[in-house]
C-alpha cells in the first residue's frame, strides 16, 4: 500500500518536472519566439481552435474573457509585430513580456475550463 503511494507521488513529481521543462520560457525571447510560445499555448488551451485564426481575432476573443491583463499593451505589441512581420518595419520597444504574460495566463483559462468541465459532469 505504502509502495503504491510512493510510486504515485514520485510519478506525479516526475511528470510535473517534465511538464515544467516543456513549457519553460526562454530567458530572453525575441518577439517572434514570444508569439511562437503564445501559439503553442493557444493550441494547448483551445484544441478546437480553427487553424485559420489571426492574432487580432485571438486577442479580441480573449479580451472578452476574465483575464486580468493590460490589453492595450498586448494590442500595441501585436500591431508592432504585424508591422514587422508583414510590413518589414523594424520593431522598436515591442513588449515581449506582454505576449508572454498572455501565454502564461492561458494556462489559467485551461485550468478554469477543466474545473468547470468537472463541475458540469
Instruction: Tell me if 48 contacts other proteins by CB under 8 A.
Output: no
End-to-end alpha carbon distance in the chain: 30
Should residue 20 be labelled a site residue for other proteins when binding is judged by CB under 8 A?
A: no
Comparison of 19 and 56: residue with beta carbon closer to other proteins: 56
Return all residues near 73 (Cβ < 8 A) that are at least 6 apart.
Answer: 95, 98
- Report the residue number, 32 or 97, with the smaller CB distance to other proteins: 32
Is 63 near other proteins (CB under 8 A)?
A: no
Q: Is 97 helix (H, G, I), strand (E, B) or coil?
A: helix
Q: Is 98 exposed, middle or buried (0-12, 13-18, 19+ CB in 10 A)?
A: buried
Nearer to other proteins, 47 or 88 (CB): 88
**Binding stretches for other proteins (CB under 8 A):** 35, 39, 50-57, 82-83, 85-89
Amino acid at each position: 500500500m505504502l509502495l503504491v503511494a510512493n510510486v504515485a507521488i514520485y510519478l506525479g513529481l516526475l511528470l510535473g518536472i517534465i511538464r515544467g521543462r516543456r513549457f519553460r520560457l526562454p530567458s530572453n525571447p525575441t518577439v517572434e519566439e514570444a508569439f511562437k510560445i503564445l501559439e503553442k499555448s493557444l493550441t494547448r488551451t483551445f484544441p478546437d481552435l480553427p487553424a485559420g485564426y489571426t492574432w487580432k481575432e485571438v486577442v479580441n476573443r480573449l479580451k472578452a474573457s476574465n483575464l486580468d491583463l493590460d490589453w492595450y499593451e498586448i494590442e500595441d505589441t501585436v500591431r508592432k509585430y504585424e508591422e514587422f512581420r508583414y510590413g518589414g518595419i523594424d520593431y522598436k520597444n515591442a513588449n515581449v513580456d506582454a505576449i508572454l504574460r498572455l501565454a502564461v495566463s492561458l494556462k489559467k483559462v485551461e485550468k478554469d475550463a477543466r474545473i468547470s468541465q468537472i463541475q458540469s459532469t
